[in-house]
A and B are shown apart, each in its own frame.
Chain A
Amino acid sequence: GIQVEQSPPDLILQEGANSTLRCNFSDSVNNLQWFHQNPWGQLINLFYIPSGTKQNGRLSATTVATERYSLLYISSSQTTDSGVYFCAVDHSGAGSYQLTFGKGTKLSVIP
C-alpha cells in the first residue's frame, strides 16, 4: 500500500513562531487532506488539497503532486494550535476513496 511519512514527529514552538510540517507520500494521489487532532481527540479537517496551494487565515498548505509531497505552514502560532497534525492520502491507483494516514506531527506551542 501507499506509504505516508510526516516530519518532524515532534515540534515545540514559542508562541508567535512560524513552522512548516512536511508530508511525503510514495505514490500518486487523488485526495490529500490535512487534519488537526485537538487534545480531546477530535479530527478537524484543515485542507482538502490534492494539488496546488490554499490558505485559511494563519494556515496554508501546498501540495506538489508530481514530487509527492505536501507542506503545511503555520504562521504566528498560538497555544490553541497545539495538538497532532495528520496528513492523509487516497491512492489514486487503488481507486478506493479511502484515506491512509501518516503517523502525525505533534505540535506543542508554549506561551
Chain B
Amino acid sequence: EAGVAQSPRYKIIEKRQSVAFWCNPISGHATLYWYQQILGQGPKLLIQFQNNGVVDDSQLPKDRFSAERLKGVDSTLKIQPAKLEDSAVYLCASSRQLSGANVLTFGAGSRLTVL
C-alpha cells in the first residue's frame, strides 16, 4: 500500500509569515495525526482527527496553528504567524482504526525553518 504522503518536504520562511503543510494518509485510514518534532526531541502530538472530526487538539497552539480535514481524507496544517520556535519537522501519521491494534504509520515529514 502507498504510504503517508506529505508536502512540502522543506520550507524556509521569515518569522511572522505563514506556511501550510499538506498530508494524504494511507487509503482507508480513518485516524490522522499531526506531530511536531523539534531537533533532538521525540515527536509531540499537536492534533488528532477521526474522519473529519477533531478527537484531541489540546496541545495545538491555537493562537497561531490551525488544522483541518474537511472530507475525512487529506489534511492541512497551517501556521500564521510563524515564530522562531516553530522551526521543527511536522510529521503526519495515520492509522486504520481508533481501537484495538492501533498501529501508526508516519510520513516523511515537512521540515520548517523560521528565520
Are A98 and B101 in contact, with the CB atoms below 8 A? no
Interface of A is mostly: strand
Q: A42-B106, A42-B109 are in contact. Are A98 and B33 (CB under 8 A)?
A: yes
Alpha-carbon separation in the docked complex, A88 to B81 (Å) = 31
Q: A98-B33, A101-B42, A103-B42 are in contact. Are A40 and B108 (CB under 8 A)?
A: yes
Q: Does B24 reach chain A (CB closer than 8 Å)?
A: no
Interface band, chain B = 20 to 34
Q: Does B64 reach chain A (CB closer than 8 Å)?
A: no
Can you offer 16 A-B residue contacts whose CB atoms are under 8 A? A4-B42, A33-B103, A41-B108, A45-B104, A45-B105, A45-B106, A97-B31, A97-B48, A97-B98, A97-B99, A98-B33, A98-B56, A99-B104, A101-B42, A101-B44, A102-B42
Interface residues of A (CB under 8 A from B): 4, 31, 33, 35, 40-43, 45, 48, 86, 88, 90, 96-104
